[in-house]
Amino acid sequence: MSENKKQTSKKVAHLAADTLHDPKASKIARSLAASALSQSHSRKQTGAEMERKASEVLHSPKYSKDTKTLAASVLAQSNKERKSK
């Protein structure tokens, strides 16, 4: 399996932490934030289900810029072999 060496940036990790502390944040934003934070300072890759959710967020006009930023970060850290299929 191909290894993805990308990690969540400090800027996105800060956004993710803020999102998790925001009581008004949506369930999907919190989920993406948790995934992004779990990938900061680690070599973890995004799972297939989280990839699907992040892709849906990026393709939908109803999500905020911050939620889309988290989704993009999560997708950038997905499994390269699965992404190319």
- Quote the CA–CA distance of 28 and 6 in Å, as a whole number: 22
The domain of 50 spans 10-83
* 70 inside domain: yes
**Prediction pTM value:** 0.85
CA–CA gap between residue 50 and residue 81 (Å, rounded)? 15
Q: What is the CA radius of gyration of the chain?
A: 12
Angle made by CA atoms 25, 29, 58, in degrees to the nearest 5 = 135
Count up the domains in the chain and report the number. 1
Residue 16 placed within a domain:
yes
Taking CB atoms within 8 Å and a gap of at least 24, the contacts of 58-64 are 63/28, 63/29, 64/29
pLDDT tens digits, residue range 28-80?
999 999 999 988 877 778 888 999 999 999 999 999 999 999 999 999 888 66
Is 1 inside any structural domain?
no
